[in-house]
Structure 1
Amino acid sequence: MSMAEKTYLGCLMKADYLIKDTIIQPQQLESTIHQEIMRSMLELSQKGKNTDLITLSTLPILSSIGGVSYLAELQSYAEVEKFDELEEIIMDSWKEREKRNILKIAGLNDWEIARVITELDKINQVTLNDHSSIQDSLLAVYHSPWEDQEEVKTATTGIQSLDTLTGGFQDGEVTIVAARPSMGKTDVMLHFAKAAGWTGYIPVIFSLEMPEKLITSRLIASTGSYNRTKLRNPKKMLNDQQKNKWAEVIGNISETNIQIFDAAGQRVSEMRAKTRKIMHQFPNKKPIILIDYLTLIQANQQYAGNSHNQVTEISRNLKTMAKDLNCPVVCLAQLNRSVESRSNKRPMMSDIRESGSVEQDADVILFLYRDQYYDKKSNDPSLEIIVSKNRNGPVGNIKVKYNVHTGLIESFTENELAEIGN
């Protein structure tokens, strides 16, 4: 029998809080005795009982799960600090067994290759238990009329007027941030990441185009108000005053706990798995997922150049990930060139590449627009954030101050807004 499974079950006995947090299901264990032990533990946990050796040894099915001696042996293998690693090993072993099974069935039934790929990908996107009875759901709200409403904590956007419109980034919701290239999308995403990080979320950035070094450099530039070009050679180009605050800037960014993944062409299923791993590292904090950008995400199937179907699959998977992980997902998107041929260059929904499914699946759609982008002589430092779709609130436009040299985004004061004529 698998040593990983024995050690895993030993951990569940030794630290019984782990049974509530594990991503493994009993049927994913290879040994039928191990499956039976884990099912018993889940039943005990659901009744509010411990899953330790003493409680397990009182079960009527004790003899069929190896008796006290086998349970004691399992507990002796426990290495709680390796629990995440063990989950991964067990999940990988289960996936391999499932994949071999699918290939066997596919061979016997002469499946087409596309179907085989789809089925194999489904295994990579294993969803956890989504069942809840109406009784459980009603029990959760039974006392609502007599209880103070618990304040829902959402990830702030770091822009007060945008928070007022959208209520911040809601758990389980997808926000699309769309703009033409070089309009400021990445800087806006990093602003959102820092704001969420400083208020207790764990920002998980999937940068499919820009390497981690460049992301880090941009975070330093915007946080410390350093001109980006100077960071190519900080020793030579920063003055003493800028060097003196360097350590403080680095410390501030470190406090955001931003996690960066910069492999190109990642699938949503990979992002989900990596985010789950981060969630285990920070069990008391919720993630916010930020992706740069939509059409660089790899689809599960090859759509033979049909980008509409590809984007449809990806946008649906983003929504599923947001719901399953119950966290906000913010995804950047490029706008097509059609905006350039209009006299009013403020973006519209149809400017999003393959916009139909994105418009349907996203909960919030933000467009970015800068006058300065089209009129190089303009002194207007504002970046307009156009809330074009907002499932839970109003739409509207807001302006923020944007420094193209440092990437810093700040709210305007009322006097400054009056000056630029908003």
Structure 2
Amino acid sequence: MAAATALVTRLDTAPSRDYRVQPNNVDAEQALLGAILVNNDAFYRVSDFLLPAHFFEEVHRRVFEIASSLIKAGKVANPITLKTFLGDVDLGGMTLPQYLARLAAEATTIINAEDYGRTIYDLAIRRNLIGIGEDVVNVAYDAPVETSPRDQIESAERRLYELAETGRYDGGFQSFSNALTHAIDMAAAAYERDGKLSGIATGLADLDRMMGGLQASDLVILAGRPGMGKTALATNIAFNIAKVYRGEKQPDGAMKTVNGGIVGFFSLEMSAEQLATRIIAEQSGVPSYKIRRGDMREDDFYKITDAAREMQTIPFYIDQTGGISIAQLAARARRLKRQRGLDLLVVDYIQLLSGSSKKSDNRVQEVTEITTGLKALAKDLAVPIVALSQLSRQVENREDKRPQLSDLRESGSIEQDADVVMFVFREEYYIKNKEPRVGTEEHIKWQTEMDLVHGKAEVIIGKQRHGPTGSVSLAFQADLTRFTNLAAEDKLPERY
């Protein structure tokens, strides 16, 4: 292309040089801009993914930026209208109006406009990759005192992931037939899966019936006051899912989850050992306090070792690092999915996460960033995220201690960003603390109340985008920290 001469000459004048020019294709940039100037419809073929910053030449960035602004405003973008906004620039003996006129004159068709746009975009991504690589090298050579190698790795991972996800040219509208195909595939997978659910089965039948399982890309908030059993319920659900995991190898070598799932568990409060002790107690039937004290009979010890042996191969991964930021959590979750796969992510709990800024005075704003980040991560990874949350103390001041959405602590964004909000409530916890003096009439009444609520828990679904709200009753064994299905009264054997 003749118009390329002035720009290309300055790249090729030196016969030998000690540096490499970053990837670029000036001809493709000129061909695309020429097509847009001739027929503004060419802009809409690339507007979904192409930005001014993707152009290598500064003058081309300005031309594309102003042309796109004019077209979006419903005006015509051609060499005459652009001249008003660009001014006059010397391009090696050619003025800018002359250069635009040459671009338009030499553009023959807009048929290849999208291909030119993809070429420009791909080369821009390569230049950004070079920039990230140079930064990694430079920071590694001269790292600040407060930056650890792990921080640098996670920062590079985050930048690479953002680069991969931003401005992709495979987005935009899709035909309804494609959406129908995906819906039928989901229904077929649900038919084949245990429990006939569209989502991942939690192992708690009544909860699954109301929610349809844990749905991909959903942010599920599990909230409750201390002592209600939030961590126990999250651990039970996570382990139930990992325990029944079954995968099939695809023709391309990748593993596809057929049942259950691979679980990642961020335990910001408890250590991995404490979490493992809970799970062993739940699976073996030996109370966790006995395991901690070593107060066991020989048959208890065999139960523990048998349970541990069965759990060796279960795809359940724990990260016990405390005080990590939402950015670090996202980087580690993406790494787990890439290396081992991921079907469910659990975060225990939101209030122990920090935002990207280490010195944030506004905690509400920080929690908003955390919940928005968790929801975006759930969509990016296409897995459900179960995030635990504390409730405010105002629950304790009410006669009815059942939690509600307004009790969510520190930010309305938790309720706003969540697809499902569940509350764990155990009335037994509150009644037990009100025990009157033994032998009194009040104690007899208290004992009757305790008998009604003993070993029972309630999961209250306060919000659900895809289904009904309501309450589910579960059985709770405190010494094993285990939630199980509660047998309905009409299904119990007859009493004599």
Band of TM-score, shorter chain = 0.5 to 0.7
Contact 1:155–1:199 (Cα < 8 Å) also in 2: no
Aligned-partner SS, 2:466: coil
Output one character per residue of 1:129-174: Cα deviation in whole Å (capped at 9) or x when no partner. Answer: 3543456555634768999943345221211111111111111010
Residue number in structure 2 paired with 1:187: 232
Verify: 1:365 aligned to 2:403, yes or no.
no
Change (3 A) 1:356 1:124: farther
**Which of the residues 117, 123, 135 maps onto 2:159?**
123
Q: Which has the higher contact order (CA 8 A, sep 6+)?
A: 1
Residue number in structure 2 paired with 1:225: 285
Aligned residues: 316
**Which of the residues 302, 311, 315 maps onto 1:253?**
311
Contact 2:375–2:417 (Cα < 8 Å) also in 1: yes
Greater Cα offset, 182-191 or 195-204: 195-204
**Which of the residues 240, 243, 246 maps onto 2:298?**
240
Verify: 1:266 aligned to 2:350, yes or no.
no
Cα distance in 1 for residues equivalent to 2:230 and 2:304: 25
**Which of the residues 195, 198, 202 maps onto 2:262?**
202
Aligned-partner SS, 2:479: coil
Change (3 A) 1:343 1:31: farther
Please give the TM-score of this superposition, normalised by the length of structure 1. Answer: 0.67
Contact 1:156–1:199 (Cα < 8 Å) also in 2: no
**Which of the residues 356, 360, 385 maps onto 1:300?**
356
Cα distance in 2 for residues equivalent to 1:390 and 1:97: 46
Q: How does 1:339-354 map to 2 (within 5 A)?
A: 339-354=395-410
Change (3 A) 1:343 1:143: closer
Cα distance in 1 for residues equivalent to 2:314 and 2:131: 35
Change (3 A) 1:146 1:364: closer
Change (3 A) 1:133 1:126: closer
Change (3 A) 1:276 1:122: closer
Please give the TM-score of this superposition, normalised by the length of structure 2. Answer: 0.57
Change (3 A) 1:99 1:148: closer
**Which of the residues 136, 140, 150 maps onto 2:188?**
150
Equivalent residue letter for 1:311: V
Residue number in structure 1 paired with 2:489: 415
Output one character per residue of 1:31-64: Cα deviation in whole Å (capped at 9) or x when no partner. Answer: 889999xxxxxxxxxxxxxxxxxxxxxxxxxxxx
Aligned-partner SS, 2:478: coil
Output one character per residue of 1:258-277: Cα deviation in whole Å (capped at 9) or x when no partner. Answer: 10001111122222222222
Cα distance in 1 for residues equivalent to 2:487 and 2:320: 36
Structure 1 spans left out of the alignment, 5+ residues: 1-29, 37-90, 103-118
Change (3 A) 1:143 1:349: closer
Contact 2:158–2:331 (Cα < 8 Å) also in 1: no
Equivalent residue letter for 2:273: K
Output one character per residue of 1:238-296: Cα deviation in whole Å (capped at 9) or x when no partner. Answer: 2122222223211333343110001111122222222222223335xx42110110011
Residue number in structure 2 paired with 1:73: none
Residue number in structure 1 paired with 2:89: none
Contact 1:208–1:296 (Cα < 8 Å) also in 2: yes
Equivalent residue letter for 2:240: A
Structure 2 spans left out of the alignment, 5+ residues: 1-18, 26-127, 140-154, 191-197, 246-260, 436-449
Change (3 A) 1:233 1:134: same
Cα distance in 1 for residues equivalent to 2:21 and 2:384: 38
Change (3 A) 1:160 1:215: same
Aligned-partner SS, 2:170: coil
Q: How much has 1:412 moved relative to structure 2?
A: 1.2
